Amino acid sequence: PAPRLFRIPEARALINRMGFNNHGADAMARRLRCLGRRAGPVGVNLGKNKDTPLERAVDDYVAGVEKLGSLADYVVVNASSPNTPGLRQLQQSEPLRALLSTVRARLEEVAPARPLFLKIAPDLTSEEVESVVDVAVDVGITGLICTNTTLSRPNVSGPVAAEAGGLSGAPLAPLALQTLRQAASRARGRLALFVEMHPSIWARSGLSAADIRAELDRQQLDAVPLTPTDDPWAIEGVCLRLVPRS
């Protein structure tokens, strides 16, 4: 029930518990077919239905690939939404390997060579990030999206902070950067890494442009800005692709 989104202006943050609310894959397929010429790449973000048992989650992702894979420029396996019960368990090594392997195989049949990404949580331990990277490399997906929203509440207080849901905005930036740092260190150029965070948000979180550049230099990465997001509840969202320097 509404409300499911809570802004925290003083912290440059918001909490949402939207989940995967939408009209379904068939409706999205119709819209994508009617879209016509696209201004930029269009990706499809896949997750399991809230009422699907975890042991059958792979079926939901495969169904999404079958209906939407050929209509998207790239596909994202979202195993990190904090608003779908149990979903983050799919980031564990064996469930993740089974999920990515099955989805990649079906995507190759439906849309050969279509890029496949995994969106991960900022709340993973360093060991868990390393495990995720190892599985992603082994399976052969294109890359990782760092990161989804966090269940923690760093530097956020007041009644809104107690609302259930994922936190995004400035307080998320250090967690996202730490996850990126760990993923980049482990991947060593074997995966494309994307960040869903505007540099100005990093700066407002206490990280200066020099801090961000220094971190990219340490990891031998360059940031390539992509099309800004048009999510109506996003805060200055933009994607940066982090590419290894040649």
Q: Which of 81, 131, 168, 205 is catalytic?
A: 81
The CA-based angle 214-211-219, given to 5 degrees, is 35
- The contacts of residue 69 (CB under 8 Å, 6+ apart) are 44, 75, 106, 107, 110, 111, 114
Known catalytic residue: 81?
A: yes
Provide the 10 A C-beta neighbour count for residue 27: 10
Point out the residues that are catalytic: 81
